[in-house]
């Protein structure tokens, strides 16, 4: 019967079922899961659940830990982050029984992932604890490749928390390792996040220095069109913050030229919008309206953030200045509507943060890592408690959420190309 069930499960995967479930066979199934991650998360989860059970039956510790890791990753892709973190924590607990390079390396990756999830839920102190653990483990076993990711994200957590000196310290530590390894991707990332940190904390000249390093770099993978477009844009932003609109326009136009080579809607939207803002301030309303309408064509492709929907405020003001009353009213109404949607989204984020916290509590966070039953749906009375808490804390937390919104989404995008299989 067991063989029949296995055959039915794997018939779509074209994997031949062996006469017995060996450790090697479980590893082959893991390989099949990796292939399914980009195309069929449901099938990937089904196979991962089977490999988890097979590994337990075989006392195959690596197989059990890796199966939990895969389940956690799938939950993360589904945006079920509470469940994802529980699987990651279980995987860490299992892999602590092994002292192999592969197991230790994977544990660090899992700990890092937990930190990122917590950071993205605005739990900066808790995230920092996980990043600290990951750095300690990576240093103990001289795994510099893992340190790159953790230092980068710990720097971002410190930045979001408002700890400027620590953010810069970690970004520089990440940069030193990247240079030592000649890791072009992280060299560019570290220069960018250093520029962002100095820009946010008011030292525009130092920020410009890091952005220029990207632009002037003779390292091919650093001075890419994407990186140069971002650096030119951020240079423009430093001048905008200094009210030097001539230089701001100059670098925004350079950013526009680089970004139009790639023709990516989100990248173009940001630069078009900021150019429209510069032209509005300098009184060049016709150019502001023209470039603003270009940005409007890409609005549906960007995230619902204040820095994005402010475009409609710009278009409304410019239209009114040009005597286009009906167009101005329409843009202003759009701005008000998008702002209302944004505020509703913030309420949902706060509610989700509390749901996530309760999921971890119910799942036995840091206490009962082997209890699958405790990650079931939240009961009605718990949801009622969360709603009450959300109402009480809403305005305090909304203020906190607004503090660091300007460049966080762009920094997060730079981590999208980390490969799960790069362990």
Q: Compute the distance between CA of residue 57 and CA of residue 11 in angstroms, rounded to an integer.
A: 22
Question: How far is C-alpha 128 from the geometric centre of its chain's CA atoms?
Answer: 16
Question: How far, CA to CA in Å, does 408 sit from each of 28, 121, 153, 259, 307?
Answer: 38, 13, 12, 20, 11
Q: Last residue of a domain, which of 82, 98, 114?
A: 98
Q: Last residue of a domain, which of 182, 204, 233?
A: 182
Q: Last residue of a domain, which of 155, 182, 209?
A: 182
Per-residue pLDDT band for 20 (boundaries 50, 70, 90) equals confident
Residue 151 has pLDDT above 60, yes or no: yes
Structural domain boundaries, residue 121? 99-182
Residue 382's pLDDT is what?
46
Q: Does residue 93 sit in the same domain as residue 1?
A: yes
Give 259-304 pLDDT, tens digit per residue: 999 999 999 999 999 999 999 999 999 999 999 999 999 999 988 8
Question: How far is C-alpha 53 from the geometric centre of its chain's CA atoms?
Answer: 31
Establish if 323 belongs to a structural domain.
no
Residue 412's pLDDT is what?
55
Establish if 234 belongs to a structural domain.
no
pLDDT (mean) for 9-31: 70
| CATH number of the domain residue 12 falls in | 1.25.40
Per-residue pLDDT band for 375 (boundaries 50, 70, 90) equals very low
The tokens describing 229, both together, are 């477009």
Give 211-248 pLDDT, tens digit per residue: 999 999 988 788 789 999 999 999 999 999 999 999 99
Establish if 48 belongs to a structural domain.
yes
Establish if 51 belongs to a structural domain.
yes
Q: Does residue 114 sit in the same domain as residue 63?
A: no
Residue 100 has pLDDT above 80, yes or no: yes
Domains held by the chain: number: 2
| CATH number of the domain residue 116 falls in | 1.25.40.10
Give 160-178 pLDDT, tens digit per residue: 999 999 999 999 999 999 9
Give 317-347 pLDDT, tens digit per residue: 999 999 999 999 999 999 999 999 888 877 7
Residue 348's pLDDT is what?
72
Q: Compute the distance between CA of residue 308 and CA of residue 339 in angstroms, rounded to an integer.
A: 10
Give 384-395 pLDDT, tens digit per residue: 445 555 544 554
Establish if 274 belongs to a structural domain.
no
Q: Which residues contact 120 (CB under 8 A, 6 or more apart)?
A: 81, 412
Q: Does residue 80 sit in the same domain as residue 149?
A: no
Q: Calculate the dihedral angle through the C-alpha atoms of 77, 82, 87, 92, rounding to the nearest 10 degrees.
A: 110
Q: Which residue has the higher pLDDT, 358 or 311?
A: 311
Establish if 358 belongs to a structural domain.
no
Q: Does residue 46 sit in the same domain as residue 80?
A: yes
Per-residue pLDDT band for 17 (boundaries 50, 70, 90) equals very low
Q: Does residue 7 sit in the same domain as residue 89?
A: yes
Establish if 257 belongs to a structural domain.
no
For 141, the 3-state DSSP assignment is coil
Q: Does residue 112 sit in the same domain as residue 147?
A: yes
Q: Cα 289–293–295 angle (5° rounding)?
A: 120
Q: Does residue 59 sit in the same domain as residue 4?
A: yes
Residue 121's pLDDT is what?
75
Residue 360's pLDDT is what?
61
Establish if 81 belongs to a structural domain.
yes
Residue 376 has pLDDT above 60, yes or no: no
Contact 314, 273 (CB under 8 A): yes
Q: Compute the distance between CA of residue 354 and CA of residue 358 in angstroms, rounded to an integer.
A: 6
Q: Does residue 72 sit in the same domain as residue 58?
A: yes
């Amino acid at each position: 019967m067991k063989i029949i069930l296995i055959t039915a499960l794997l018939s779509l995967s074209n994997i031949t079922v062996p006469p017995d479930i060996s450790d090697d066979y479980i590893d082959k199934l893991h390989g099949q899961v990796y292939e399914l991650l980009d195309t069929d998360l449901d099938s990937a989860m089904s196979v991962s659940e089977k490999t988890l059970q097979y590994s337990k039956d075989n006392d195959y510790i690596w197989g059990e830990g890796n199966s939990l890791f895969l389940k956690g990753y799938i939950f993360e892709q589904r945006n079920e982050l509470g469940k994802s973190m529980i699987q990651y924590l279980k995987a860490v607990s299992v892999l602590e029984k092994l002292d192999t390079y592969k197991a230790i390396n994977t544990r660090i990756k899992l700990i890092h992932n937990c930190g990122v999830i917590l950071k993205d839920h605005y739990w900066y102190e808790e995230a920092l604890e996980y990043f600290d653990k990951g750095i300690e483990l990576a240093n103990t076993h001289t795994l510099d490749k893992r340190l790159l990711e953790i230092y980068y994200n710990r720097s971002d957590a410190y930045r979001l928390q408002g700890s400027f000196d620590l953010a810069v310290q970690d970004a520089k530590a990440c940069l030193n390792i990247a240079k030592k390894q000649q890791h072009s991707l992280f060299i560019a990332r570290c220069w960018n996040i250093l520029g962002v940190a100095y820009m946010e904390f008011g030292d525009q000249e130092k920020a410009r220095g890091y952005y220029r390093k990207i632009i002037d770099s003779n390292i091919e993978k650093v001075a890419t069109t994407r990186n140069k477009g971002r650096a030119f844009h951020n240079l423009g932003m430093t001048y905008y913050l200094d009210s030097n609109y001539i230089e701001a326009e100059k670098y925004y136009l350079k950013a526009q030229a680089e970004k139009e080579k790639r023709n990516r809607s989100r990248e173009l939207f940001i630069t078009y919008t900021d150019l429209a803002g510069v032209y509005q301030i300098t009184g060049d309303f016709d150019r502001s309206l023209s470039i603003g309408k270009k940005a409007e064509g890409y609005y549906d492709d960007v995230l619902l953030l204040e820095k994005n929907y402010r475009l409609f405020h710009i278009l409304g003001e410019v239209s009114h200045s040009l005597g286009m009353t009906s167009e101005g009213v329409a843009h202003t109404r759009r701005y008000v509507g998008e702002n209302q949607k944004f505020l509703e989204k913030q309420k949902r984020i706060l509610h989700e943060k509390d749901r996530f916290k309760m999921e971890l509590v119910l799942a036995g966070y840091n206490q009962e890592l082997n209890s699958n039953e405790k990650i079931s749906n939240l009961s009605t009375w718990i949801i009622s408690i969360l709603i009450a808490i959300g109402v009480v804390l809403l305005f305090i937390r909304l203020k906190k959420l607004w503090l660091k919104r300007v460049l966080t989404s762009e920094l997060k995008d730079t981590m999208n190309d980390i490969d799960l299989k790069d362990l």
